[in-house]
C-alpha cells in the first residue's frame, strides 16, 4: 500500500514557517518515501513525515499476520 502525498507541500502548523524538506530538495531527481506505522501518523512524527517524504508505505500493519492471521478465516 502506498499513499501519495504529492499535493502536500507544507506542514500545517500554526505560526511555523515552511522549511524545505528532503522531498523538496530532491524532487527533480527521485521520490523520497518512508515506511511508517499507524502510530507515527497520529503523533508529532506526522509533521516530520509530511515535511520530508512524498510517499509512505505501511510498515508492519500490512503484513500477512495482522491482515489474515489464520488460514481459511
pTM: 0.58
Q: Is the dihedral of CA 49, 46, 58, 2 positive or negative?
A: negative
Give me the pLDDT at residue 46, please.
Answer: 92
Which pLDDT belongs to residue 11?
46
* Domain contains 72: no
Q: Which residues in the chain land under pLDDT 50?
A: 1-2, 5-11
The answer to the question of residue 73 being in a domain is no
Q: Give how many domains the chain has, as a whole number.
A: 1
| 51 in Cβ contact with 19 (< 8 Å) | yes
Q: What is the pLDDT of residue 14?
A: 58
Q: Range of 37's domain?
A: 2-10+18-67
Name the grid cell of 73: 478465516
Amino acid at each position: 500500500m502506498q499513499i501519495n502525498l504529492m499535493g502536500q507541500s507544507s506542514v500545517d502548523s500554526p505560526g511555523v514557517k515552511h522549511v524545505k524538506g528532503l522531498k523538496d530538495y530532491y524532487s527533480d531527481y527521485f521520490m523520497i518515501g518512508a515506511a511508517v506505522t499507524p502510530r507515527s501518523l497520529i503523533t508529532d512524527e506526522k509533521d516530520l513525515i509530511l515535511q520530508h517524504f512524498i510517499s509512505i508505505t505501511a510498515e508492519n500493519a500490512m503484513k500477512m499476520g495482522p491482515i489474515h492471521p489464520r488460514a481459511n478465516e
